[in-house]
Amino acid sequence: MEDRSLSIKKILDLTERHFKKKGIDNARLEAEVLLSHLMKKDRLELYMNFDSILSDIEIETFRDYVKKRSERMPVAYITGKKEFYSLSFKVNENVLIPRPETEILVETALEKIRSRFDKKLKVLDIGTGCGNIAIAIAKNSELVKVDAFDSSKKAIDLAKENARMNNVEHKVNFFQFDISGDFYELRNKIGKTDVIVSNPPYVPTSVIETLAPEILQYEPKQALDGGQDGLEYISKIIHMANGLIINKGYLFIEIGHDQAIEAKKIAEKYFKTDFKTDLQGHQRILIGYRE
Ligand SMILES: C[S@@+](CC[C@H](N)C(=O)[O-])C[C@H]1O[C@@H](n2cnc3c(N)ncnc32)[C@H](O)[C@@H]1O
User: Between β-strands 144-150 and 121-126, what pairing exists: parallel, antiparallel or unpaired?
Assistant: parallel
pTM: 0.96
pLDDT of 2 strictly over 80: no
Query: Cα(289)–Cα(149) distance, rounded to whole angstroms?
Result: 22
Query: Cα(234)–Cα(94) distance, rounded to whole angstroms?
Result: 21
Using the CB atoms, write b or e for 183-193: b if 16+ within 10 Å.
eeebeeebeeb
pLDDT of 89 strictly over 60: yes
Ligand 1 atom closest to residue 179's alpha carbon, by position in its atom list: 20
Query: Cα(112)–Cα(46) distance, rounded to whole angstroms?
Result: 41
pLDDT digits (tens, 9 = 90+) for 180-196: 999 999 999 999 999 99
Tell me which long-range contacts 185-188 makes (C-beta under 8 A, separation of at least 24): 186/149, 186/240, 186/244, 187/243, 187/244
C-alpha separations of 83 from 89, 97, 170, 224, 262 in Å = 6, 10, 22, 20, 32
- Spell out which residues line ligand 1, taking CB within 6 angstroms: 95-96, 98, 102, 127-129, 132-133, 150-152, 155, 178-180, 199-201, 222-223
Query: Cα(86)–Cα(83) distance, rounded to whole angstroms?
Result: 6
Mean pLDDT, residues 259-284: 97
pLDDT digits (tens, 9 = 90+) for 156-179: 999 999 999 999 999 999 999 999
Residue ID of nearest Cα to ligand 1 atom 7: 98
CB atoms within 10 A of CB 227: 16
Q: How far is the CA of 165 from the centre of ligand 1 (A)?
A: 21
CATH topology of domain 81-289: Rossmann fold (3.40.50)
The percentage of the chain sitting over the pLDDT mark of 70, rounded to a whole number, equals 99
Mean pLDDT, residues 42-59: 95
Mean pLDDT, residues 107-116: 96
Mean pLDDT, residues 192-211: 98
pLDDT digits (tens, 9 = 90+) for 51-64: 999 999 999 999 99
Q: How far is the CA of 131 from the centre of ligand 1 (A)?
A: 10
Mean pLDDT, residues 261-280: 97
Model confidence at 3, pLDDT cuts 50, 70, 90, reads low
pLDDT digits (tens, 9 = 90+) for 139-152: 999 999 999 999 99
pLDDT of 106 strictly over 70: yes
pLDDT of 16 strictly over 80: yes
Which residues make Cβ contacts (< 8 Å) with residue 211, sequence separation at least 6? 203, 224
**Domain ranges for the chain:** 8-71, 81-289
pLDDT of 118 strictly over 90: no
* Cα angle, residue 27 at apex, residues 217 and 89 outer, rounded to 5°: 60
Q: How far is the CA of 203 from the centre of ligand 1 (A)?
A: 12
The angle that helices 153-165 and 132-140 make with each other, rounded to 10 degrees, is: 30
Residue ID of nearest Cα to ligand 1 atom 26: 223
User: Between β-strands 272-277 and 283-289, what pairing exists: parallel, antiparallel or unpaired?
Assistant: antiparallel
Model confidence at 291, pLDDT cuts 50, 70, 90, reads confident
Q: How many residues does the chain have?
A: 291
Residue ID of nearest Cα to ligand 1 atom 16: 222
CB-based burial label for 230 (10 Å; 0-12, 13-18, 19+): buried
The sign of the dihedral angle between the CA atoms of 34, 35, 39, 43 is negative
Would you state the pLDDT for residue 5? 87
